[in-house]
Amino acid sequence: MTIEQRIGPISLPDNRTQRLLTALLAGSGVTLNGDAPWDPQIYHPDFCSRILRQGSLGLGESYMDGWWECESLDELACRLLLHGLGERARPTPDRIIYRLQAGLLNLQSKARAYMVGEAHYDLGNDLFERMLDPTMCYSCGYWKEAATLHEAQLAKLELACRKLELRPGMQVLDIGCGWGSFAEYAARHHGVSVTGITISREQAELARQRCAGLPIDIRLMDYRELDGRFDRIVSIGMFEHVGHRNYVTYFETVEKLLADTGLFLLHTIGSNSSEITVDPWIDRYIFPNGVLPSARDIADASEGLLLLEDWHNFGPDYDRTLMAWRDNFDARWHEIAERYSKRIERMFRYYLSVCAGAFRARDIQLWQVVFSRARTERYDAPR
């Protein structure tokens, strides 16, 4: 039965798996086939057994398969996480296997560095152009005084520029430049020259088009291949792809490339725990080999290399950013629907929604961290 052929939610069979799942949900405010917007409506009799067997991977895949619907996926995710079902939704064998792999293998080695670019960022510029705002920022906006997504993204870019104390003529490195959002803004509004690197061919191509005529050099390369010296370094939404085995190498690279009086701004999603873990659905379908750093990870890896000047958490702003992306995605999907499958549509809608719920639950954070190399004067970070 296809998604289009479904008539309505089914009556769940009264069996052991249904009772177990219902018991797990008790107290969360979530009811299978309930009346609230965050209650999942079930369309397949094997839903409960699949969730209990596969955890969060089964939950995401079954949504992609059309086994269930939910009016408010974001609030469903938030309530499940607040109820403590985040880590419990990852089967123990999966957690053990990932920790063994991460311990024995470098899942983010140079040879594997381009995997996330090919799997996610190269999916299609037409999709991201409709989902994002005109800046093409694919990272958290700054909503302190913003009323729209575009205002929030411009505010984020300006905030980063002010934290870096940019001045005309400076040489700036953008590690993980995406579609050139920061590079274009900094060059146009602060008179700097920017070298931007990305591991996505689609991003590099569009970034070069967007930055044409500006003192910007966009390169398709891994950060470990860089040479040179820069007055300022920025990395927005890239550190999540570095991996714990490479954190020290990353900061050693930044320290090597940063001028003696330079500043480095790291903008990254962060984990509340230092335990090496990953959501299996996100890992398989959205960001292969991605892993979120903890505050300890960042502090330990940078110790002895850079001086930590400022740490700013505005994680709740990512909830609003993701919901704005989802609104754009829903409103403009029809423009590209013929070029993508229904499964891709459901995959993206699920991804944007559950991530918004995770930030709403404060299960994950968004940090901007400023480092210096040999600064002697006081640093006062703008807000």
- Give the residue numbers annotated as catalytic, written as ranges: 355
Comparing CA positions, the residue from 278, 272, 317 lying closest to residue 144 is 317
Pairwise CA distance, residues 91 & 99, whole Å: 13
Pairwise CA distance, residues 91 & 361, whole Å: 21
Pairwise CA distance, residues 22 & 27, whole Å: 10
- Residue 380, classed as helix, strand or coil, is coil
Pairwise CA distance, residues 104 & 110, whole Å: 16
DSSP letter assigned to residue 121: I
Q: The tokens of 383 are what?
A: 């807000």
Pairwise CA distance, residues 281 & 25, whole Å: 20
Angle at CA of residue 372, ends 369 and 376, nearest 5°: 135
Long-range contacts (CB closer than 8 Å, 24 or more residues apart) made by 339-345: 339/124, 339/126, 340/124, 340/127, 342/3, 343/64, 343/65, 344/123
Contacts (Cβ under 8 Å, ≥6 apart) of 32:
12, 18, 21, 22, 25, 39, 40, 42, 48
Comparing CA positions, the residue from 200, 366, 242, 371 lying closest to residue 302 is 371
Q: The tokens of 42 are what?
A: 């079930």
Pairwise CA distance, residues 323 & 8, whole Å: 27
- Residue 375, classed as helix, strand or coil, is coil
Pairwise CA distance, residues 293 & 154, whole Å: 26
On whether the CB atoms of residues 132 and 125 are closer than 8 A, the answer is no
